[in-house]
Chain A
């Protein structure tokens, strides 16, 4: 597609349920990033991949959060046993360059997660 696609656009779930958020990056983009953004704040880094390799997961809040990108394209961010504090906008971004600091990120529209 022309841009980064995320699905679902909105996700409402009950506390304790698992959720899977999907990101389809721009075709051919090497790097893929997951961020979380609270209202009025900048995006908070969670994890990123170069191709299928997860390069850095230091931003994942705890072990309930995991991400994968098995074929170096589509990625899934999974949150197990969701809690109300997980409610936020989850954004995916992709880049045509490896992460060296000069890459330009293209963001998707995000998935708004609400945990009741």
Chain B
């Protein structure tokens, strides 16, 4: 069956460091992969979309990579700040957008 796997354990890092979150998938051949941010009590908010023919995409302090051979996407936040603390979800398109369970990031001041 198709699976999207994100690390269920929270990631704790120090302010100023780079946070790296992983999204692995099986039995998909997605043309696109998306990342969303979700704060407690709120709906997910779109961050970035990367296409299968793009190896890397950047937006301000965010960087996403997409390796279709490894079936993996990495999501990086450079110079992290406490305000970056949230849950980050990756999503792949099947017949509709399907989400992973998310990884909670905690940035310590």
Contact = CB atoms under 8 A, between A and B. Distances in A.
Contact of B89 (A42, A48, A109): A42
Interface string B5-33: 01000000000000000000000001110
Contacts of A42: 4, 6, 89, 91, 99-102
Contact of B101 (A40, A56, A59): A40
Interface string A16-28: 0000000000000
B42 interface: yes
Contact of A43 (B30, B44, B49): B44
Measured as residues with beta carbon below 8 angstroms from the partner, the interface class of chain A is: 20 to 34
B43 to A, nearest CB: 3
Contact of B99 (A4, A43, A109): A43
A103 B97 CA distance: 9
Contacts of B89: 42-43
Interface string B65-109: 000000000000000000000000101010111111110000000
Interface in A57-116: 58-59, 91, 93, 99-110
B96 A91 contact: no
Interface of A: 4, 33, 35, 40-45, 48, 55-56, 58-59, 91, 93, 99-110
17 contacts: A42-B4, A42-B6, A42-B91, A42-B100, A42-B102, A45-B97, A55-B95, A56-B95, A93-B43, A99-B97, A102-B93, A104-B49, A105-B46, A106-B46, A107-B45, A108-B43, A110-B43
